Amino acid sequence: MRRRAALLLPGLAAPPAWTAAAQPRPAVDLLLVLALDASGSMDADEFRLQREGCAEALSHPAMLAAIRSKPLGAIAVSVVEWGSPGGAETVVGWMRVTDAVTAQALGRALVEAPRSRQSYNAIGDAIDHAAALIAAAPFRAGERVIDLAGDGPDLRSLRPAAAARDAAVAAGIVINALAIGIAPVTRFGVPLREHYEREVIGGPGAFVIVAEDRRDFARAMRAKLMREIAGARAPLGPG
């Protein structure tokens, strides 16, 4: 009897195993992972320009108007930094963006987050990390996008970018890219945009936008986000 009484005490009783699983995930119009280049090719000033440009793009009035125009008027965004093989890191967890206040909060979280330690360009591993982040998101949406920005090709991924891309696309994720710089890719002998078109992007309507340099990043990111949000469809139904 004592043992049974103890099990019934409120402080000791475990909740049913199904309780957490039964809670529906809030719906948004778009799940978006921003995958930013933090590799060794970026010095401190370039890194700051990239983060500030991203924050500026997210809170731009045209961006907020695009979000409000969607069926639910909400997107969810997470930010990943990539570079080292197997070392992609989530620097800002999922945040729901609906207005200027929430967009500015996301921008501050990004600008103030410590820089992750990265080295070589492992784009395939960045895609795998971002796809896993989407799969585990606390929100649900009919549109899921990985938005990868970089200044170089895939070099040292544990899984090549094209293979990671194909797996993500098979899971219903679209991958777009922002190529920083217009110089040819030395190792492959083609412009960075062309390399990203061949090896990185995928899914319906996937595209590459070019920022001619770091200072052009905010404009290019804003154009890319506008295109992605404008293309977001209605969210998935229950379940």
CA 45 to chain centre: 22
pLDDT class for 156, splitting at 50, 70, 90? confident
The 10s digit of each residue's pLDDT in 77-98 is 999 999 888 888 999 999 999 9
For residue 167, the tally of other CB atoms under 10 A from its CB is: 16
Burial class (CB in 10 A: 0-12, 13-18, 19+), 67: buried
Question: Residue ranges of the domains in the chain?
Answer: 26-230
The span from the CA of 122 to the CA of 152, in Å, is 10
How high is the pLDDT of residue 123? 94
The 10s digit of each residue's pLDDT in 224-235 is 888 888 775 544
pTM (two decimals): 0.84
**Domain 26-230: assigned CATH number:** 3.40.50.410
How high is the pLDDT of residue 84? 85
The span from the CA of 103 to the CA of 55, in Å, is 8
Cβ–Cβ < 8 Å for 175, 199: no
Q: What is the mean pLDDT of residues 178-189?
A: 75
